[in-house]
Chains A and B, each alone.
Chain A
Amino acid sequence: MADYTLEELQQMLVEKQQEEAIANDTPTVFETYEKSIVEASDYEEIYIQYTGSFHTRLGYIAKSQTEDKKIVWQTYYINEMRNGKLVGRSPQNRVPTTGSYNSVIPDPTLQIIGSREVDTTVMKG
């Protein structure tokens, strides 16, 4: 093993830590894709709302013509029930579909993945 000074070893350690930090902090391909749309000068954001009860937000579309990219987000809800009556919808998840600006991607629709009784439990700090 080569002889290193304490200072050289410390410098090597620092550089290794930096590599590790960068590797941990690298955005995913999707995050990079989404960011290029959101930060584009012609960014468009369109919310699609349900015309029935609660005007639930079904999802939204993020797109940019200059980037020639589009993301259609579909939201999934759980129906909140009280004594058999629908009293609200809680969003649980969103799924993106990507494409070019003019690609034909269906608009989000009302997606209910389950129902549950409203829980009034209160946690104590």
Chain B
Amino acid sequence: MAVYYVSKYGDDNNNGSLNLPFLTIDYADTQISAGDVIYIAPGVYRESVQFGVGGTAGNHVKWIGDTDLNQFSQASPPAASSSYEKGVVRVTSAGENESYDGANSAYALYTYTKQYIEFHNIHADGGGQKLGTNGARSSYSFRGYSDTYDIYAFNCLAQGATFGFRNLSTANCIAVACGQYGFYQGEKHVNSIGIGGYGTFYQSDLCVDCIAIGGGIGCFWNVDKQVNCAAFGGNTGFRCYDQNDFIFDSIAIGSATGFMGSFNTTAQGTVISGSFSQGCYGAVYKGNISNFRWGAGSYRFVSSAANYPYGWDGTAFGFQNIDNGDVGLLYSYDKLINIAEVLKPTLLNKMVRGASDSNHDSDRAQQDSSLEGPYTNYELEDIANSPRLLGERTASFHLNDNGLSKRDIGPWEFSTTEITSSVSQSTPGFRILGEGIQYFEIGQSSGSAITASVNVYYTSSATMKPSITFKYFKSMPSSSTYNGNLFAYSTGSQLDIQTTIATANQNTWTNIAVSASPSSNDQVLQLQLHARSTGSATASFSDILIQ
């Protein structure tokens, strides 16, 4: 393996050493072999490079922007009265006027048919493109020929091109203002962020810990596997292609449709689990939904092919009176409206699912087995050492009682429940707003009968009444039966649900209770409090007051 250097103080007559660097990336590419590393000093490289040398599976070619002068600080002064400066390593096909004058597609860095090339710490843009009969159709910041060529970008920025990253795997990369696609295809995108474009992440195989903002047709469009990602705005937050795909632990905010699964099949197929839609016109279109929450949208938009066997329970939580300053998720979930906080996508899983939800971890691990390798095996050290991937913080939802008090309600209570006053016989202690559903995870000892009862008060019509529910296994499955994946197992016919709906008229306090007699540890899974229709599903909800 040889090491070469490129600098704007260099000369292509040089030998490419630290003190005698090359001037152009294009020339350096004619001097290297598989496994070589090339450090590039900060500067603006106005080149449209099509690489002629690639690496091998065990010997990648690495083009590394030395933005912090880790290498060049040890070089001799580049010229009289000058020294190297820290800064951006920019490669652009644009001329000094920042427009591209070529007659064909412009690209800053194009690996063409070469394989196993890595880019690190490089800002690349395609420049503008002239319109006209022979005008450039597309511009590219980073381009590989197809996903089979194994091209990678780490800590890179693509800007102002038609395609930001095309057919590359990326980690810690950003595509900004790339007109058509921020990240087009590519096998893996980890911890990357796309802002704008028609499709922000488009037809990729896997996105983990990624954020997309404002994708025209979609933030994540026809992406096969999506884990722990966030989408803001756009026509579609997340869309899978077929029934083998899945979306885990992801959040869509303000998209026309938050989640769209299994487009290419009539079956529900796509697993959408542990995810959350907020403020989307439609929350979900198709999908095999579990542990899903939605809020403040117009429709659930679930097609007849959708399946929501567990965790949905036919109700949803909405948020009322936000305009009036009452409790709403946007108030209590203040981290979500703080973009700086959201740009730590590793945290999203914990925000949605909680740090100690081991059932979910095993559930997800089972899905990971359908990938070529676990998504946590990023193959390359650079990704595994990503600062954001190493981030740890536990964040759960907090109730905000109009600023008077706060209570951590844990990761599983997504209702807009508020503390109303001190508890007494005559006044309510809590209030579930509107369609809210309150979950309590249950653990009980073997063979112990368990009863839950609560005094409730409601004002809705006679067909929409408070209910109390136990969810539990008909018989406790053996660990070999459910194979470590209790949540997945519990989505089938093994689950029993026992519900008691209030019978008293509205505007009066009434007690509702539910009982179970489990024979094994943890046979009862969950206690729920919510409103349930006793007739037409079109009845209106009201707040439920709880003593």
Contacts and interface: CB of A to CB of B under 8 A. Distances in A.
Contacts, number: 128
A17 interface: yes
A91 B22 contact: no
A78 B221 CA distance: 39
A10 B47 CA distance: 46
B312 to A, nearest CB: 17
Q: Which interface class (under 10, 10 to 19, 20 to 34, 35 or more) fits B?
A: 35 or more
B294 interface: no
Given A88-B11, A125-B87, A93 B299 contact: no
A90 B86 CA distance: 23
A6 B299 contact: yes
Contacts of B285: 10, 14
Contact of A80 (B23, B44, B104, B304): B23
Contacts of B44: 119, 121-123
B217 interface: yes
A121 B43 contact: yes
A59 B60 CA distance: 24
Contacts of B24: 80, 88-90
Interface residues of A, number: 47
Contacts of B48: 91-94
Interface in A111-125: 116, 118-125
Contacts of A94: 48, 50, 102, 104
B30 A49 contact: yes
Interface string B19-39: 000111011001000000000
A38 interface: yes
B284 to A, nearest CB: 11
Instruction: Classify the secondary structure of B's interface with A.
Output: loop
Given A14-B285, A24-B180, A54-B27, A90 B88 contact: no
A119 B24 CA distance: 12
A88 B67 CA distance: 22
A116 B97 CA distance: 13
A107 interface: no
A45 B113 contact: yes
B102 A87 contact: no
A10 B11 contact: no
B104 A93 contact: yes
Given A87-B11, A120-B43, A93 B23 contact: no
B8 A57 contact: no
B94 to A, nearest CB: 10
A91 B50 contact: yes
Interface string B290-332: 0000000001010110000000000000000000000000000
Majority DSSP secondary structure for residues of A touching B: mixed
B413 to A, nearest CB: 30
Interface string A11-34: 100100110110011001000000
B104 A24 contact: no
B87 A124 contact: yes
A125 B88 contact: yes
A93 B44 CA distance: 17
Interface in B102-148: 102-104, 106, 113, 123, 137, 145
A108 to B, nearest CB: 13
The interface centre, meaning the residue of B82, B86, B102 with most chain A CB atoms within 10 A of its CB, is B102
Nearest to A113: B101
Nearest to B282: A10
A14 B412 CA distance: 32
A88 B31 CA distance: 14
Given A56-B27, A90-B26, 15 more contacts: A10-B282, A10-B303, A14-B263, A17-B217, A24-B180, A25-B202, A57-B30, A80-B23, A92-B102, A93-B48, A94-B48, A121-B43, A122-B43, A124-B87, A124-B88
Report the 4 A-B pairs with minimum CB-CB distance, sorted nearest first: A93-B102, A88-B23, A122-B87, A88-B12
28 contacts: A6-B299, A7-B303, A10-B285, A10-B301, A17-B235, A53-B13, A54-B12, A54-B13, A57-B26, A57-B52, A80-B23, A87-B10, A88-B12, A88-B23, A89-B12, A89-B27, A90-B26, A90-B46, A90-B47, A91-B26, A92-B93, A95-B104, A96-B104, A120-B9, A120-B43, A123-B87, A123-B88, A125-B87
